[in-house]
Amino acid sequence: MILQQDLSIVSNKVIAKDTYEMVLEGDLVQQIKRPGQFIHIKIGEGFSHMLRRPFSIADYSLETNQLVIIYKVIGEGSKWLSKQSDQSFINVLGPLGNGFEIDHLANQNVLVVGGGVGVPPLYALTKQLSQRNDVKAVLGYQSSDSVFYEEKFNKYANTTVATNDGSYGEEGFVTDVINQMQNQVDYYFACGPLIMLGAIQLQLRDTQGLLSVEERMGCGVGACFACVCEADNEKGYVKICQDGPVFHSNEVTLYESIS
Amino acid sequence: MILQQDLSIVSNKVIAKDTYEMVLEGDLVQQIKRPGQFIHIKIGEGFSHMLRRPFSIADYSLETNQLVIIYKVIGEGSKWLSKQSDQSFINVLGPLGNGFEIDHLANQNVLVVGGGVGVPPLYALTKQLSQRNDVKAVLGYQSSDSVFYEEKFNKYANTTVATNDGSYGEEGFVTDVINQMQNQVDYYFACGPLIMLGAIQLQLRDTQGLLSVEERMGCGVGACFACVCEADNEKGYVKICQDGPVFHSNEVTLYESIS
Amino acid sequence: MNLSVDLGGLQLKNPIMPASGCFGFGKEFSQFYDLSELGAVVIKAATGEQRFGNPTPRVAETPSGMLNAIGLQNPGVDKIMEQELPFLDSYDTPIFANVAGSTLEEYVQVAEKLSQHPTIKALELNISCPNVKEGGIQFGTDPNLAYELTRAVKQVSKKPLFVKLSPNVTDITELARAVEEAGADGLSMINTLTGMAIDKQTRKPLIANETGGLSGPAIKPIAIRMIHQVREQTDLPIIGMGGICTADDVIEFLLAGSNAVAVGTANFHNPLVCKEIIDELPEALKRYKFTSLDELREVAVS
Amino acid sequence: MNLSVDLGGLQLKNPIMPASGCFGFGKEFSQFYDLSELGAVVIKAATGEQRFGNPTPRVAETPSGMLNAIGLQNPGVDKIMEQELPFLDSYDTPIFANVAGSTLEEYVQVAEKLSQHPTIKALELNISCPNVKEGGIQFGTDPNLAYELTRAVKQVSKKPLFVKLSPNVTDITELARAVEEAGADGLSMINTLTGMAIDKQTRKPLIANETGGLSGPAIKPIAIRMIHQVREQTDLPIIGMGGICTADDVIEFLLAGSNAVAVGTANFHNPLVCKEIIDELPEALKRYKFTSLDELREVAVS
Ligand SMILES: Cc1cc2nc3c(=O)[nH]c(=O)nc-3n(C[C@H](O)[C@H](O)[C@H](O)COP(=O)(O)OP(=O)(O)OC[C@H]3O[C@@H](n4cnc5c(N)ncnc54)[C@H](O)[C@@H]3O)c2cc1C
Ligand SMILES: Cc1cc2nc3c(=O)[nH]c(=O)nc-3n(C[C@H](O)[C@H](O)[C@H](O)COP(=O)(O)OP(=O)(O)OC[C@H]3O[C@@H](n4cnc5c(N)ncnc54)[C@H](O)[C@@H]3O)c2cc1C
Ligand SMILES: Cc1cc2nc3c(=O)[nH]c(=O)nc-3n(C[C@H](O)[C@H](O)[C@H](O)COP(=O)(O)O)c2cc1C
Ligand SMILES: Cc1cc2nc3c(=O)[nH]c(=O)nc-3n(C[C@H](O)[C@H](O)[C@H](O)COP(=O)(O)O)c2cc1C
Ligand code: FES
Ligand code: FES
C-alpha cells in the first residue's frame, strides 16, 4: 500500500562529493516490497515547491523500521534536503513503483551495474541477490571524490569501481569494464543515466536484464502521464512511476530513444 | 544607516494569546536611533515570500546589541516567525522610519495609548519618556488572554489596561479610558489600529501628539509608493515607511480617511 | 455544515472536485480515499483516437507552480468508455468528462459518445489546452471559433456542458460571452497559462515540447481576477480553479464568484488534498464567520 | 569577465538594471550600494502632471509573487526633471525614463520633455500599466493604438525608445511587430499580469483598487515564454524582466533571448539584489560553462 507519512530523519550526512546519505524511520517502511522501489519527497515549506522529488530506496529494514536514501545535490530540492537536520521530519509518499523482481533467480552469475546516483537502488538489491547468487558489481562514478558505498558493496559482491577520469579504480565508463565480462553473465541489473542504460542494453542485448529508468515526474502514482516511456507492449508505452521504474530490458527501448 | 543583516534569535516565546516576543541580536541594533522605528523581516526560505514583514522595535539595548519585537500571529509570515527556533538567524532590514522624537519633552504629563499590536513600540518609548516626564499608559487588548507587558509598563508609567470584553482591567476601548483624563494631558503618543488612531486624533484634537501609523508595505525604504497616506503638507502625502511611521497628529488626517 | 451545491442542475455533495488531467481516471487516487467523498470527479481529456502525447520531459517545477506539456495523452474515447468508466461507476459522485480534439468534428464526435454514456453526468469542453499543435487553444482564444464549437457540441449532447476557458487571452469576458450565447451551461476556469523554463546546463527548454502550461499557486491571482471579471458579466455556474491548495483557497475562489472548484496540481503535492480540503472546509467557513455556503455566495465580491 | 553589453546603441557596463517602479528615483537604494555599479537605472513612471495614485492598500503578497496597484503615483514630469534627475546625474550609469500617460498627447508631451533632458539616455514607453483607469494598458493590448502611440513618440524623441509590452494579451508577437513597425528601438517585457486576491476576513479584495499587477518569480515562466516567442520574430534588443531574483535567473532570461534584464520585485526582498547579481554573474556564467556573454547570446534558445 502507498502511504503518505512524515518520516523522522535519523541521520543525514555527506558520504561523497555533493552526495548525502539520509536514514529515515517510520511505519511506511513496512510497506516496502522489493529493492528498486522509490519514495517521493515533499520539498520545502508550504506550497512553494509543488512537485515532490523521487529518490530510490537504497536500503531498508523491516526490523528497524528504517530506510536509506542516497542523493546527490543537484538543484533546489536536493539542496533543501541536505539542510534538514536529524530529528526533524520530512513528508514521504511511498513506497512507489515495483522494484526489482528477483525471486526467480538462484545460482546465477548476476551482474549489477550502476552509474552515479543510479548506484543507490542496487545496494539493497545486491544484498538480497547475494543470498542465492554469485554477484559482480560494476559501479561508475565521475571521479575519486564522488565514489561511495564501495566497501558496502564489496561485502556482498565482487565489486569493480570505474571513474570517468581514472582518478580511482578503472579508468573509463562502466561499459568498458563490462566488455571484459560479457560472456560470464546470466542476468543483469542496471541503473544510471539514460545514456548509460541505453549503451548497456545494446551491449548486453543477448542477456536478460532489468533496467531502472528515470524520468521527470508529476504525481508519482500513475495519474498524470508525465513519466511515460515508449515500450513494446499493447499500449505502446509504460508509466515509469507505476509500471516501473524497473523494466525488463526488452520491454523499453532506450537506445532508440537516445539516438 | 539602514542595514540588511542576519540577526540571531536569542529567544522566541509566547507571551499572550497568539502573541510572541522575539529577542534578536546583532550589530544592526547599533543603528537604532529612537523608539518607534521598525524592522522589515524576510520570511521563509528562498523566494516564496517576496514581501518582508514590518514589525516595530519594542525595546532595544545598545549595550547588549539586542532588540525585541512583539508580534501577533496573523498570517503566513508571522506564523513562520513563530516557528523559528533559538540560535537560528533571520534576515532583517532596518532600522527603518524615524520613530518618536521626544528630546523636546521634559516635565510634562504624557499619555501613551496603545491598542493590541500597537502596544510594542510604546514600551521603549515609555521607558525613555519616564526619565524626564510623568507618563500615563493606557493599553487596550481584546480580552484577558491577550494582555501582555502590563507589569513592564507599570515600572515606568501609571498603567491602565482595558479589554474590549471587560475580562480584565477596564471594560471597553482605550478611548473610554482616555475620556476621563483628557484634561490632564500635555502631550500624547498613540499606536494601534487605524480606527483607534482616528478616534484618538479626534478625541484629543486640542492636544499635541504623535501617532504611529500602519500600512501594507513593499520596499520599506521609500522607493515603491505602496505605503502612502494623505497628509497636510506640500506634496499632499507622506510615505509611512520613510517619513513615518510616526507622524504629528495634525500632519496626517486619519479620521477623515476612515469615515 | 451542509456543503452541497447545485451546479447547473447537478447536485454535488460539496463544491470540491479534482481538475481534469491531474487525477487520471480516478483509480490511482482511490487508493488514498473513497472517491465518493468528492463533489465530483473530472476525468482526463478524451480525444477521438488514442494519443501518445508529447515527448518527455513533460513536467518542470517553477516557483510555486509547475509547467506541463502532457499533450492530451489518452487511450481514446472508446477505450475510456470501455476500460475506465466502469470503475468510476461504482462511486457515488457525478463524473465529468473532459472533451478535447483537433477539429470541430472530433470534438463533436467525442462529446456525442461521452454524453450518451450513463456514467457521465456532465461534459467539460477543453478549448484551452496549450500543449497540442492543433485545435485546443485556437478554439479557446477566438470567440467565433469558441462559439461555433460550443454550439456544435451542444447540439449533440443533452448533458450539462461546461466550457473550459483559457487565460491566455486579452479579454476573457469576450470568450465567456461567446460560449454563453452558444448555449454553454457553465464555465470552467482557468486552464493553464502558457509558460517556458530553460535548463541553464543544457541550454534548452526544460520541457521537450518547449512550452508548457503553468499551473499551481503561482497563477491563483490571475484565476481569481478572471473569475471575478466573468462573474460580473454572467450568471452561469463557474467551476473555479488555478492553484487551489487549501480550504482557505476554496473560500477565496467562492468569494470571487465560483460555484464549485477544481483542484489540480495540488494533488501531486498531496494525494489526499481533495479529501482533506472537504474535511476542513466547515471549520474554515466558521473561521471566517460563514454559517453556510449560501451565505458566502451572497457576499461574493461583485 | 567582461559583462558589458550594447543595448540598441547604448553601452552598458553589465546587463542588469532595476525595473521601473521598483527603485523609485534611485535615491533610497543609493544608501545600499553605489548606483554606478548598475548597467542602467530605470526610473519610476512619469506622467504629465503629478498623480497621487490609487487608494491604499496598494500591495499584497501572493505565492512567490505580489500584486501592486500603485497607480502611477509620481510628481509629474517637470518636478521629476527638476528634483530627481540632478541626483542621478552624479552616477556613471545610463538613466532610462519610463513614460506614461492617459492620452496620446500626454505620452508625447512627457516623452518629448524627458528625451530633451541630458540625464536621460533612453525612454521606456509604458503602454502596459494595468493599474490606471485610462490609457496605460489599452495602448498595450491594441496593436493599432500601440503603433500610433509609438510612432507619435518616436517623432518627438531622438533617444532610443524601448516599448514596454503587456503580457495580458492573446498574442504578444502581434504587439511586438506593431511597435517595431512604428519605429521602436527596443522592447521591454514583461510588465505585470493583472491579478486579484480576496481577503477572506473582510470578504473584499486585498488591494483597494480591486485588481493589481502580478510580479515576482510566479510570472517568470510566462516572461520567459513571451521573450522567446518575440525573439523568434525580431532582432530588436529586448530588456527581459519578470521574477528575476538571482544570477541564474539572469542567465535564463538571456538564453530566452533578452539582451539585458531588469530586476523589479526582488529589490523589495533584498535591497542589495542588483549589486549581488552583478557580482555573482561571472561565477554563474562559468558554472554553466560560458566564457563570455557573447557566447551565451549565440546559443540563446531559438
Ligand atoms: C525513480 C527515480 C529514482 C531516483 N533515485 C535517485 C537516487 O537514489 N539518488 C539521487 O541522487 N537521485 C535520484 N533520482 C534523481 C532525483 O529525483 C533528482 O536528482 C532530483 O529530483 C533533483 O531534484 P532537485 O530539486 O535537486 O533538482 P532540480 O533540477 O531543481 O529539480 C527540478 C525538477 O526536476 C526534477 N528532476 C531533476 N533531475 C531529475 C532526474 N534526474 N530525474 C527525475 N527528475 C528530475 C525534480 O524532481 C524536480 O521536479 C531518481 C529519479 C527517479 C525518477
Ligand atoms: C510600521 C509597522 C509596524 C508594525 N509593528 C507591529 C508589531 O510590533 N507587532 C505586530 O504584531 N504587528 C506589527 N505590524 C503589523 C505586521 O506588520 C503584520 O501583522 C504582519 O505583517 C502580518 O504578516 P503575516 O504574514 O502574518 O500576515 P498576512 O496577512 O499573511 O500578510 C500578508 C501581507 O500583508 C501585510 N500585512 C498584513 N497585515 C498587515 C498590517 N496590519 N500592517 C501592515 N502590513 C500588513 C504583510 O506584511 C504581508 O505583506 C506593524 C506594521 C507596520 C506597518
Ligand atoms: C499535468 C496536468 C495535466 C492537465 N491535463 C488537462 C486536461 O487533460 N484537460 C484539461 O482541461 N485541463 C488539464 N489540465 C489543467 C487543469 O485541469 C487545471 O485547469 C489547471 O492545472 C489549473 O489548476 P491547478 O493550478 O489547480 O492545477 C492539466 C493540468 C496539469 C498540471
Ligand atoms: C510596486 C511596483 C511598481 C511598478 N511600477 C511600474 C512603473 O511605474 N512603470 C512600469 O513600466 N512598470 C512598473 N512596474 C512593473 C515592473 O517594472 C516590472 O515590469 C514587473 O514588476 C515585472 O518584473 P519583476 O517580476 O522583477 O517585478 C512596477 C512593478 C511593481 C512591483
Ligand atoms: S509521474 Fe504521474 S504518471 Fe508517472
Ligand atoms: S513601502 Fe515602499 S514606499 Fe513605503
Mean pLDDT of chain A: 92
Whether B147 and B161 have beta carbons less than 8 Å apart is answered as yes
- State whether the beta carbon of D167 lies less than 6 angstroms from ligand 4: no
Chain A contact present for C98, CB below 8 A? no
Query: Order of strands, edge to edge, in the sheet holding B53-56?
Result: B53-56, B38-41, B89-96, B3-16, B19-25, B66-72, B59-61
- Band (C167; pLDDT cuts 50, 70, 90): very high
Smallest Cα–Cα separation from B136: which of B90, B175, B96, B187? B187
Across-strand partners of A8? A25, A89
Domain count, chain D: 1
Chain B contact present for C221, CB below 8 A? no
Q: Which of C22, C129, C245, C274 is catalytic?
A: C129
pLDDT of residue C138: 79
Helix or strand holding residue D110 (H, E): helix D104-116
Task: State the Cα–Cα distance between residues C300 and C294, nearest whole angstrom.
Answer: 10
Cell reading at B125? 518609548
- State whether the beta carbon of B201 lies less than 6 angstroms from ligand 2: no
Among A196-200, B124-128, D175-179, D207-211, which stretch is predicted with the lowest mean pLDDT? A196-200
Q: What is the pLDDT of residues A68-119, one digit of tens each?
A: 999 999 999 999 999 999 889 999 999 999 999 999 988 889 999 999 999 9
Strands C16-18 and C65-68: unpaired
Whether D23 and D29 have beta carbons less than 8 Å apart is answered as yes
| Residue A54 Cα distances to A41, A57, A70, A136, A227, angstroms | 6, 10, 11, 27, 12
Among C116-125, D28-37, D134-143, which stretch is predicted with the lowest mean pLDDT? D134-143
Cβ neighbours of A45 in B, within 8 Å: 44-45, 48, 80
Compute φ and ψ for D98, nearest 5 degrees.
Answer: -100, 120
- Dmax (CA) for chain D in angstroms is 54
Cell reading at D32? 545600499
Helices C220-231, C247-256: inter-axial angle, 10-degree rounding: 30
C280, C286, C288, C294: CA torsion to nearest 10: 100
SS3 D137: helix
C273, C276, C280, C284: CA torsion to nearest 10: -10
Smallest Cα–Cα separation from B218: which of D271, C217, D217? D271
Across-strand partners of B39? B55
Sign of CA dihedral D242, D247, D248, D250: positive
Task: State the Cα–Cα distance between residues A231 and A251, nearest whole angstrom.
Answer: 6
Cell reading at C186? 457553465
The residue with cell 537502488 is A121
Is C22 an annotated catalytic residue? no
Binding site feature residues of D: 20, 44-45, 68-72, 98, 126, 164, 190-192, 216, 242-243, 264-265
Task: State the Cα–Cα distance between residues D142 and C248, nearest whole angstrom.
Answer: 37
Task: State the Cα–Cα distance between residues B58 and B124, nearest whole angstrom.
Answer: 6
Cβ neighbours of D225 in C, within 8 Å: 194-196, 211
Give the CATH number for residue C286: 3.20.20.70
| Residue C131 Cα distances to A118, B146, C196, D234, D241, angstroms | 31, 53, 12, 24, 24
Task: State the Cα–Cα distance between residues A194 and C201, nearest whole angstrom.
Answer: 17
Residues with CB under 6 A from ligand 6: B 217-220, 222-227, 239, 241
Cell reading at A168? 580511482
Nearest residue by C-alpha to atom 19 in ligand 2? B74
Compute φ and ψ for B113, nearest 5 degrees.
Answer: -125, 125
Q: Which ipTM did the prediction report?
A: 0.96
Q: Report which residue type is found at A51.
A: L
DSSP state for residue A27 in the 8-state scheme:
G
**With DSSP H G I counted as helix, E B as strand and the rest as coil, what are the percentages for chain D, rounded to 5?**
35, 20, 40
Size (chain D), residues: 302
pLDDT of residue D134: 62
pLDDT of residue B149: 96
Whether C233 and C177 have beta carbons less than 8 Å apart is answered as yes
Q: What is the pLDDT of residues C132-158, one digit of tens each?
A: 666 667 788 999 999 999 999 999 999
Among D140-154, D238-252, D288-302, which stretch is predicted with the lowest mean pLDDT? D288-302
Calculate how far, in angstroms, residue A100's C-alpha sits from the geometric centre of ligand 5: 19
Task: State the Cα–Cα distance between residues C277 and C95, nearest whole angstrom.
Answer: 19
Task: State the Cα–Cα distance between residues C165 and C297, nearest whole angstrom.
Answer: 22
Nearest CA in chain D to C142: D170
Q: Once rounded to an integer, what is the mean pLDDT over residues A109-137?
A: 94
Among A46-60, C116-130, C207-221, D272-286, which stretch is predicted with the lowest mean pLDDT? C116-130
Domain ranges, residue D146: 5-301
Query: Helices H, strands E: what count in chain A?
Result: 7, 16
Q: What is the pLDDT of residues C9-30, one digit of tens each?
A: 999 999 999 999 999 999 999 9
D37 by Cβ neighbours in 10 Å (0-12 / 13-18 / 19+) ranks as middle
DSSP state for residue A183 in the 8-state scheme:
G
- Band (A259; pLDDT cuts 50, 70, 90): very low
pLDDT of residue A257: 53
Task: State the Cα–Cα distance between residues D193 and D48, nearest whole angstrom.
Answer: 25
**With DSSP H G I counted as helix, E B as strand and the rest as coil, what are the percentages for chain A, rounded to 5?**
25, 35, 40
Task: State the Cα–Cα distance between residues C2 and B255, nearest whole angstrom.
Answer: 42
For ligand 5, pick from A221, A229, A237 the residue to mutate: most ligand atoms within 8 Å of CB. Answer: A221
Residues with Cβ within 8 Å of C97's Cβ and at least 6 positions away in sequence, in order, are C42, C43, C46, C114, C115, C117, C120, C122, C123, C124
- State whether the beta carbon of A220 lies less than 6 angstroms from ligand 1: no
DSSP state for residue D74 in the 8-state scheme:
B
Spell out a b/e string for C203-237, using b for 16 or more CB atoms within 10 Å of the CB, else e. bebbbebbbbbbbbbbbbbbbbbbbbbbbeebebb
Size (chain A), residues: 259
Compute φ and ψ for C7, nearest 5 degrees.
Answer: -115, 95
Cα–Cα–Cα angle for B173, B176, B177, nearest 5°?
A: 100
Note the pTM of the prediction, 2 decimals: 0.96
Interface of B with A in 47-66 (CB under 8 A): 48
Give the rounded percent of residues in chain A with a pLDDT score beyond 90. 76
Q: What is the pLDDT of residues D2-53, one digit of tens each?
A: 999 999 999 999 999 999 999 999 999 999 999 999 999 999 999 999 999 9
Mean pLDDT of chain D: 95
SS3 B122: helix
Residues in chain B predicted with pLDDT less than 70, given as ranges, are 182, 255-259
Mean pLDDT of chain C: 95
Helix or strand holding residue A256 (H, E): helix A254-257
pLDDT of residue A83: 94
Measured from the Cβ of residue C37, the count of other Cβ atoms closer than 10 Å reads: 16
Q: Which of B50, B223, B235 sits opposite D216 (nearest CB)?
A: B50
Q: What is the pLDDT of residues A140-199, one digit of tens each?
A: 999 999 999 999 999 999 999 999 999 998 888 888 888 877 678 899 999 999 889 988
| Residue D102 Cα distances to B16, C194, D114, D122, D127, angstroms | 51, 30, 17, 21, 10
Across-strand partners of B11? B23
